[in-house]
Amino acid sequence: MIARCWRCWLLLLLLGACPGGQAAGGGVWLLDIDDAIGPASADYLVRGLDQAHAQGAQLVVIRMDTPGGLDSAMRQIIKAILASPVPVASYVAPGGARAASAGTYILYASHVAAMAPGTNLGAATPVQIGASPSPGKPAATGEPSDDDTLARKQVNDAAAYIRGLAQLRGRNADWAERAVREAVSLSADEALRIKVIDRIASDLPDLLRQLDGQRLVAAGQTQQLQTTGAALVEHLPDWRTRLLAVITNPSVALILIMIGVYGLLFEFISPGSGVGGVIGGICLLLGLYALQLLPVNYAGVALIVLGVAFMVAEAFLPSFGVVGFGGIVAFVIGAVILMDTEAPGYGIPLPLIVTLAIASALLLGGVLGMAIRARRRALVSGDAGLVGSLVTVTQVTADNPFCGSVQAQGEHWQVQCATPLQPGQPVRVIARHGVWLEVSATAPTAQGE
């Protein structure tokens, strides 16, 4: 009897140690994508998957509602999902949410693809722009233009990529290729019917109930989920992710660069306080860091810099507005073509560009106006400011009442007058002779004036 018990225990231990029968333990981690997919989203998901593995999670659920995003960020997320030792379930929720474009690729890459009722996915055609489209070759030659060839390469690459993901997870590869080539979309019910997704769940608890007991292969290891009653850990974005999400918004990045440029400009014009230099330096570095993470057209960056330089030069050159107007035009064109992508959420709104251009023009117009007024103002220093000024006698020479001293322009001067001087007497400077001032007595002010 004892020997039988030992054999049963050994059999159970062997079954537990066998890779094909390993039971997953730990909690379920929830990560959220609720915006366009970009550098911040990729950083958040990659670090979240690493932390979930370190904490011994048995499943990571990515709840998605996204219009798409950047190709580079999407591929970074998919690489992390494919390499993750923790199974990943992508869940398009709540009702009314979507997993368009990049979201469709992530859904196909996940170990489990699920959707809530009333959601949709698809429209996965890559959108990318570089320089402005060219007319291409004449139609008579029958040869495609360079732009058409580049577009076909991008579409073919994306179609092969999503087909490979579909074959890896055993999902509908034909529809996946159509989503890329024809930009088609599907509702949740249709997606389940043609095996694009694995499950429809009304909410997250319903999804976890459906996944309980399911076996999934992650990083070569088969794991059996035990999601009923498992602890749910909602991993919210930390300060780093939130900061990255803010500064990698192209509109915010453009504003940061403008604040940085003008902050440094005002520090150079009026050095001493340090406020403009500190704020300008920080904003400029943050803006440049954001541009380094984004798909930037460097011709647009060059035009923005050139436009700002022209607008600054207008304040110092007698060009009657020609240089400044050219700077505004260069700035607007540069801002329009700054982002080298048409991905949703990564364009710069035209009203923002116009607002920044007008604000820059008004700011530099004000600087120009102050400079013109300063040039027209009468001199208040040197001989021009000294001669004709009214000063008060501070001291009279003891042996010569026609000489004394006054204080003018913050300095003590020796003076001489044609009439005797008295301490406290107001006199007017009529000439300067080296270190001496010639003064004349002023008429006394009538009482009551």
**Higher pLDDT, residue 112 or 404:** 112
pLDDT in tens, 17-34: 344 344 446 899 999 999
Indicate the range of 67-81, 84-98, 333-347, 394-408 predicted with least confidence. 333-347
**Each residue of 99-133: b (16+ CB within 10 Å) or e?**
bbbbbbbbbbbbbbbbbbeebbbbbbbbbebeeee
pLDDT (mean) for 294-312 = 82
Q: Which domains does the chain have, with CATH numbers?
A: 18-130+148-240 (3.90.226.10), 249-376 (no CATH), 382-441 (2.40.50.140)
> Position 200: which residue type?
I
Indicate the range of 80-94, 128-142, 213-227 predicted with least confidence. 128-142
> Position 156: which residue type?
N
Report pLDDT for 29: 95
Report pLDDT for 22: 44
| Gap between the Cα atoms of 401 and 71, Å rounded | 91
pLDDT (mean) for 189-208 = 94
Structure tokens at 443: 């008429």
Give, for 428, the enclosing helix (H) or strand (E). Answer: strand 426-433
Per-residue pLDDT at 374 exceeds 70 = no
Report pLDDT for 66: 92
Give, for 322, the enclosing helix (H) or strand (E). Answer: helix 322-336
pTM above 0.85, yes or no: no
pLDDT above 70 covers a percentage of the chain that reads 80
Report pLDDT for 17: 39
Quick count: other Cβ atoms within 10 Å of Cβ 305? 15
Alpha helices in 212-321 (DSSP H): 239-247, 250-269, 275-293, 298-314
Which residues lie below 8 Å from residue 47, measured CB to CB, with a gap of 6+? none
Highest averaged pLDDT of the listed ranges 6-15, 29-38, 256-265 = 29-38
Per-residue pLDDT at 155 exceeds 70 = yes
| Gap between the Cα atoms of 248 and 286, Å rounded | 9
Average pLDDT, the chain: 81
**Higher pLDDT, residue 76 or 133:** 76
| Gap between the Cα atoms of 102 and 123, Å rounded | 9
Which residues lie below 8 Å from residue 3, measured CB to CB, with a gap of 6+? none
